[in-house]
Amino acid sequence: MTSPAPPLLPPVEVALARPVPSLPLPEEGRRLAYEPKFDGHRLVIFRLEDTVRMQSRSGRIVTRAFPDLEAAARPLPPGTVLDGEVVVWAGGRTDFASVQKRAFAATDSRAARLARELPASYAAFDLLALAGTDLRPLPYEQRRARLMALLEPLGPPLQAVPMTTDPELAATWYESLTAIGVEGLVVKSLDEPYRVGRHWRKVRHAETRDAVVVGVVGPRLRPRSLALVLPGDDAPLVSSPLSPAVRAQLAVALRDLPEPGPPPPADDFPTALDTVGTRIAYRPIAPELTVEVRQESRTRHAATTVIRLRGGE
């Protein structure tokens, strides 16, 4: 007699999307699904037998940063695993900087306060397990149907992302959803299983993206580079050297930024990868600043150039 498969437990590797230059159209014999691409914080929710755990894209457990979503996930059946994106709405638009404030809450009291001030929504785009059964080998179309049946009775803040198989409607979404901060679409094949790696596709309007500053490389008020977190990821990366214009913008902003706490010892600074894959130590700062960046893949690591400080134009 075959024993039942073990439940899906954190950490799990997540599926990713590769950028494409234009909106893909259905190929002969293969239907496509189109979903809005929310720039938030990637989050896998595990409803375990007696608790809820939440995992970021990197595998870090971040449950205590989102007490509102933890409470919302408790009615899910034990053995449920959701994949999706945390977003925070402000003024009718998604606000990536607010999401990062939530994700980097350092204490339970700060997390609880931010949950009241910046309530999170969870845009679920996949169902990896249900009632202890691993659904990842199933086609996306079947996983999507089960996701909808699971979440529809619950309602916000846990919601399935919109999805269409109509290329014309997808094109309309692509042009119109920028008004609410959605800069692109993710495209999936209806018949594909959930696979680790860049098997999904994504198309975006802008060549640039917003990133949150989580640290500086070099002197705090005159940094050479920045440690940044991009949408959908929580692993910091180091930017290319800053231009004089950006340094001038940052000089005032960093001076006015409150210290997040005592700095760690010089030999205990966290590290992030730079554009050639070298680990660089950086000094953490409060995640209060947002910058516009451009990424260009010249090697296996993308060069991330800071264009300007948001709010500092």
The whole-number pLDDT of residue 313 equals: 41
The whole-number pLDDT of residue 176 equals: 92
Enumerate the β-bridge partners of residue 44: 55, 83
Listed residue (247, 187, 198, 252) closest to 222, CA to CA: 247
* Its pTM surpasses 0.85: no
Q: Which amino acid does the sequence have at 1? A: M
Q: Mean pLDDT in each 10-residue stretch from start to end of the chain (313 residues)?
A: 69 93 85 92 95 92 94 96 95 85 82 93 97 96 98 95 96 91 92 95 85 88 89 84 87 79 67 79 87 68 80 51
The whole-number pLDDT of residue 259 equals: 67
Alpha carbons 122 and 201: distance in angstroms, whole number? 21
Catalytic residue among 37, 101, 188, 202: 37
Six token digits for residue 174:
């692509």
The whole-number pLDDT of residue 280 equals: 87
Q: How many angstroms from the chain centroid is the CA of residue 244?
A: 30
Q: Which amino acid does the sequence have at 138? A: L
**Residue 51 neighbours by CB distance under 10 Å:** 12
Rg over alpha carbons for the chain, rounded to the nearest Å, is 20
The whole-number pLDDT of residue 299 equals: 42
The whole-number pLDDT of residue 264 equals: 63
Q: Is 37 marked active-site? A: yes
The whole-number pLDDT of residue 210 equals: 85
Say if residue 66 is exposed, middle or buried (CB neighbours under 10 Å; 0-12, 13-18, 19+). buried
